[in-house]
Amino acid sequence: MTRYPRDFRGYGPNPPDAAWPGGAKIAISLVLNYEEGGENNILHGDAGSEAFLSDIAGAQPWPGLRHWNMESLYDYGARAGFWRLHRLFTRRGIPVTIYGVATALARNPEQVAAMQEAGWEIASHGLKWVEHRDMPEADEAAAIAEAFRLHEEVTGAPPSGWYTGRCSMNTVRLTAATRRLAWISDTYDDDLPWWLTTGDHDQLVIPYTLEANDMRFATAPGYITGEQFFTYLKDSFDVLYAEGLAGHAKMFSIGLHNRLIGRPGKFAGLQKFLDYAQGHEGVWFPRRIDIADHWRRIHPPVAQDRPSQMSRAAFVARFGGIYEHSPWIADQAWELELGPAHDSAAGLASVLARAFRRASPEARLQVLRAHPDLAGKLAAAKRLTAESTSEQASAALDALTDAERETFQRLNTAYTARHGFPFIIAVRDNTKTSILAAFEARLANDSETEFKAACTQVERIATLRLKDLLP
């Protein structure tokens, strides 16, 4: 059995209505990363200096050494950048979420006090602003636990949200496993919050961003001027706001760093964007905890069937009748590479169709022959499967006149004699009139053509049946 963990489907073609408070058309989540004092530094017990996200082009770690220029750039974020941003947001009455590195918060008490006085949410950005990619799972779990402890010690309360950033493949699972977080954000995979099920626990995920993010001032390709940052934010806002006007309201995350956007020339772009956004009606500026509380109230987690997680026996029991009297198709489909993308009607229809298509012509012929005649003897004797009974009734094939019944019987007999299998059509796509017209037209086809047409119709019938069971 192969199970593929990545979720390419998400909400699929029909995302939920965000129903933001006050009928807002867009929710703008401003996130200020507080990393100053938590970055790599031999003063912090690290092997060398920091080299990530600074104005030093091509920076490299200095093993065993302090890097005065790098430290001073981070220091600027705490000494000047933070206060420029604090004045901007408090003056405009815009609350933000802080991604606070626990050790950085501990080294910056005055800034923490200002965050709290402003009513900002202080979420966790991990214990230290370091790379977690190669960190052993046990070490990362221990760092998460220590981050909780230190965060509460410094701020007076544990964090309600989490974003590591430089995370590992274990980070999302480990943070969700704490069961202490209202939200986590170490994903970039959607414009809306979503529920992650881990075992018997439902964890809310609020996706973050790496592109509507001032980190692009320190990466290539990236922004050079504040105007470029403004333009990108404006374009993103315009698209999302238009979607909100059309009834598909979304969330817009914007990532900021004191040492980057806090510089005057870059800051001008953010200021200009806030002028623009605040000039529109129906714009909500929530903290991430506000988004989490809203989503939990409006869209709580809902238990749903997950075919990709079913045992073979349960899978076949549930879906073995999708292809008429042919449970072997479900049995073989279960062995394919299933994942979250197959937990929908379209996804499961695809994998069942693959099992059907890879079967020999003789095996597929037996599937065709397993289907009943339309309005035939089995229907009259009430011996159809529940699915076939419902399907034939949908086109009123269970309420034929004597003349109509005689026509169907005549066509059934002629078609089966000519092709060796019953006439198959997705009844729910048709009316009694269109079925009879297709019957007459297809009767004259050669058997190879009809075999292909019948197989296509079998797959269509399966898809319609699955839509009764899955989203």
Q: Show the DSSP H helices in 127-263 as ranges.
A: 137-155, 171-177, 226-245, 258-261
Contacts of 469 (CB under 8 A, 6+ apart): 305, 318, 319, 345
Task: Find all residues with CB under 8 Å of 259, minimum gap 6, and list them.
Answer: 36, 53, 54, 55, 73, 74, 76, 77, 81
User: What does the angle CA 167 – CA 224 – CA 239 come to, to the nearest 5 degrees?
Assistant: 70
In sequence order, the 6+-apart residues with CB closer than 8 A to the CB of 429 are: 460, 464
Please say if 257 is a catalytic residue.
Answer: no
Q: Is 118 helix (H, G, I), strand (E, B) or coil?
A: coil
Angle value at C-alpha 333, between 7 and 313, nearest 5 degrees = 100
Contact 21, 284 (CB under 8 A): yes
Q: What burial class does residue 90 get, using C-beta atoms within 10 Å of its C-beta: 0-12 exposed, 13-18 middle, 19+ buried? A: middle
Residue 328 CA from chain centroid, whole number: 32
CA distance 64 to 301: 48
Rounded CA separation 353/330 (Å): 10
- The catalytically annotated residue of 67, 132, 294, 371 is 371
Cβ pair 464, 387 in contact under 8 A:
no
- Residue 330 CA to residue 297 CA, distance in Å, equals 37
Number of separate helices (H) and strands (E) present in the chain:
19, 11
Determine what percent of the chain falls in helix, strand and coil, rounding each to the nearest 5: 50, 10, 40
Exposed/middle/buried for residue 206 (C-beta within 10 Å: 0-12, 13-18, 19+)? buried
**Among residues 97, 149, 107, 157, which one has the least CA distance to residue 126?**
149
Whether 442 and 407 have beta carbons less than 8 Å apart is answered as: no
Strand duo 161-162 + 194-198: pairing: unpaired
* Residues classed as catalytic: 371
